[in-house]
Amino acid sequence: MPESQAQPLEGKAALITGAARRIGAQLARTLHEAGANVIVHYRSSADEAAALARSLNAVRPRSAVTAQADLLETARIPRLVADAAAAFGRLDILVNNASSFFATPLGEIEERQWDDLVGTNLKAPLFLAQAAARDLGAARGLIVNLVDIHALRPLRHYPVYSIAKAGLVALTRSLARELAPEVRVNGVAPGPVMWPETLATELQQQIIAHTLLKRPGAPLDVARAVLFFAADAPYVTGQILAVDGGRSLGW
């Protein structure tokens, strides 16, 4: 395979939020394998972030760095983006992956839960996009937001999370308008991929039963969708790609 095909993101730089572990770590590995230099953002998973960066740098020296920030502290976001752009002299890709997820049954919702869920899933992606717009525009770059199929079909007992992800879908489409033609903005909507630790086994089985493929997905399925937008979809913007095993059709 020609080098240009093997490394479609060679020389590009990607900031991935929540990249120290789980799906975020797979996103970092997949984009790095495609040639990108990566900024591994984390909030509290310092050891995991450092280990991931070391593993990536062992493959390609000076190709990964870590960046710590609590995305609920909005005032810190411009510095995070500036440091990310400075790390490799450019910023081509922003992947808004960091997310809080927990139940908020109606009647028990507290304001702090609203602030956390909406803050990580909607507010932070907005302010990250705003801070990164100039650098991404200069690179004719890309934003990919990790949304959720529950943005359109709310998950019972998770109304605040579902609301926040619905807002992220609207934000994705709004940013596609606002940042065109320089920056493309798309979303990936995973279904049952890498269960949160708090999700009951019984609910997991119910969710799988509603997929057409009758099995959960893998983090790599999500990462390949993000890579598609980054490497193979230069004429696609404002779109949401469901990676859900057909669950959105299986209700």
> What is the token pair recorded at 98?
């960091």
Q: What CATH class does 3-249 carry?
A: alpha beta
- pLDDT range class, residue 4, cuts 50, 70, 90: very low
In angstroms and rounded to an integer, the radius of gyration of the C-alpha atoms of the chain is: 17
Under a CB-based contact definition with an 8 Å cutoff, are residues 10 and 33 in contact?
Answer: no
Structural domain boundaries of the chain? 3-249
Asked if pLDDT for residue 5 goes beyond 70, the answer is no
Read off the pTM: 0.94
- pLDDT range class, residue 247, cuts 50, 70, 90: confident
Q: What is the mean pLDDT of the chain?
A: 94
- Tens digit of each residue's pLDDT (9 = 90 or more) over 96-134: 999 999 999 999 999 999 999 999 999 999 999 999 999
- Count Cβ atoms below 10 Å from residue 65 Cβ, excluding itself: 20
Q: What is the mean pLDDT of residues 41-61?
A: 98
- Count Cβ atoms below 10 Å from residue 127 Cβ, excluding itself: 19
- Count Cβ atoms below 10 Å from residue 46 Cβ, excluding itself: 12
Write out the catalytic residue numbers: 161
Under a CB-based contact definition with an 8 Å cutoff, are residues 135 and 82 in contact?
Answer: no
